Amino acid sequence: MATSATTDPTRLMIDEQLVGRGIRDQRVLDAIAAVPRNAFVPAEIRSRAFDDCALPIGYGQTISQPYMVALMTEALNTKATDRVLEIGTGSGYQAAVLSKLVAEVFTVERVKPLLDGAFETFGKLNLKNIHLKHADGSIGWGDQGPFDRIVVTAAAPDVPAMLVDQLKEGGIIVVPTGTRDRQQLMKFTKQKGVLTPTALCDCRFVPLLGEAGWTA
Ligand code: SAH
């Protein structure tokens, strides 16, 4: 008898949206397989949790498209000992995926109810290596730095200077930069204090607001 194809929504999402589009890092795919995306989506749209798109999470914000989360995570090229800073906690999904790959995740969000929601979800999923802060993350998290990796999950006009200061030598920062409506997902490697850029793809993120971001 022929074996039927999987109906597990996480597996389908990984096979079709991630592997199908060229995500190859098995550690990243395993981390995504280990995090239930539906736990990070508001109850009223939970049936769409595995859809191939960003979804609204309230307060005008979104949980990023699965492919975008995978691409950013792969680009960070993390090690198990890393301390990673994320700007823009949102639903907490990206932080949860990172928490499976690295030692400590530090995540900053400016919308308090979103931060509180993410904190609650991390508790339910027993994720213990994520630290949360309610603040303007465009200036980083100075007293916890420097970090091995930094990811900004909101669109910035340019790479925020204080984030570069808080990135270790040899570190990687991934950030969508461009205009308020259109950006490129950029990866920068810091060597001898200088950033070397690689453009990953065109993208559209919600704006990074704050001191090194856009005005509300
Ligand atoms: N990583 C998130 C995606 C969230 S969308 C996830 O996996 O769900 C981007 C988030 O960045 C929004 O929640 C928005 O409120 C937040 N944000 C925007 N500007 C910010 C700033 N200056 N500091 C911290 N968070 C910010």
* Residue 171, both tokens: 């570190």
* Residue 190, both tokens: 């810091």
Mean pLDDT rounded to a whole number for the chain: 97
Distance CA 186, CA 192 (A): 19
Catalytic residue among 47, 64, 99, 138: 64
**118 C-alpha to ligand 1 centroid (Å):** 12
Q: What is the mean pLDDT of residues 88-105?
A: 98
Question: Residue 79: its pLDDT value, please?
Answer: 98
**For ligand 1, is residue 94 a contact (CB within 6 Å)?**
yes
- Considering the chain, what percentage of its residues have pLDDT values greater than 70? 98
Distance CA 32, CA 101 (A): 10
Q: Atom 17 (ligand 1): residue with closest C-alpha?
A: 88
**For ligand 1, is residue 173 a contact (CB within 6 Å)?**
no
Question: Residue 152: its pLDDT value, please?
Answer: 98
Question: Residue 216: its pLDDT value, please?
Answer: 81
Q: What is the mean pLDDT of residues 8-20?
A: 97
Question: Residue 1: its pLDDT value, please?
Answer: 53
Q: What is the mean pLDDT of residues 38-47?
A: 97
Topology adopted by domain 9-203: Rossmann fold (3.40.50)
DSSP structure string for 24-63: --HHHHHHHHTS-GGGGS-GGGGGGTTSSS-EEEETTEEE
Residue 140, pLDDT > 80, answer yes
3-state secondary structure of 80: coil
Q: Is 64 annotated as catalytic?
A: yes
